[in-house]
Homo-oligomer: A and B are copies of this chain.
């Protein structure tokens, strides 16, 4: 079992890599080799009996995929992407990395007749937009209101068509907002969703820019990684007529998140969250869908978090 991970130096890529190394197998086959791709060389774990090739690669360069696809990976995790703010700031960069490089990856598989290769791509809640219903489902239109979401939605269509034609065995998982991310606050509009939990747990202050009643659709990093593992193992045919679908996040309000924080770390932790409404961020977050009927993912055996307490407990268990 040879696994290619793109975006392997990133938060999700590294977590996935370590989880797979711990497992030692995927799709019932022992893992013998990883090929890792990112802008800079991804860190390689210590693991006896597994070969690692870590490439620093500009995936937008012509022929960039040749060297890694010649190794004929059995499973490809395509996580490399320009994030939404960068794709919005630079249309050409977003198209080149998020769309053209994905298309070149598909073409590289096609040229090598890697029709049985399982290609797992991460898509996003950002692909949704427009006049959305209260609760979304697997047949809700993708009408993205940002270039990142448009590029991901185009990739979904392409991967579905290449899969339908038997050129590759694709599966696209739309990720909920990942909470709790480790590290520091960043420029993402969703940064607060991790920050208002992570910083108080560290004894630090955090700012909440959205109303307490704001609902979010979230999934823990651990469950996202399990979904990526399952995304490779699930039977492609079982995905039915479209290869992309939303993962089973859970819907929680900011108030519920903070109540769970209080249970885990006491009222003094909750008191470290300062409520300072930011209309710009509040508007962006309010435009994100927060309620999904994820019937397809449920049917396929993808599992989300039980509740928000579980998400906090998992973070505490891992980091403290």
Partner-B contacts on A (CB < 8 A): 91, 129-133, 138-145, 147, 150, 153-154, 157-158, 160-161, 164-165, 240-242
Contact = CB atoms under 8 A, between A and B. Distances in A.
B139 A161 contact: no
Given A130-B240, A131-B240, A150 B157 contact: yes
Given A153-B157, A157-B154, A145 B164 contact: yes
- Each complex incorporates copies of this chain amounting to 2
Nearest to A150: B161
The 10 closest A-B pairs by CB, nearest first: A143-B242, A150-B161, A130-B241, A139-B141, A154-B154, A150-B157, A141-B141, A130-B242, A154-B157, A153-B157
A132 B139 contact: yes
Interface centre among A131, A147, A161 (most CB of B within 10 A): A161
How would you classify the secondary structure of chain A's contact residues: helix, strand, loop or mixed?
A: loop
A157 B155 CA distance: 11
Nearest to A147: B161
A135 B32 CA distance: 50
A223 to B, nearest CB: 24
A164 B132 CA distance: 17
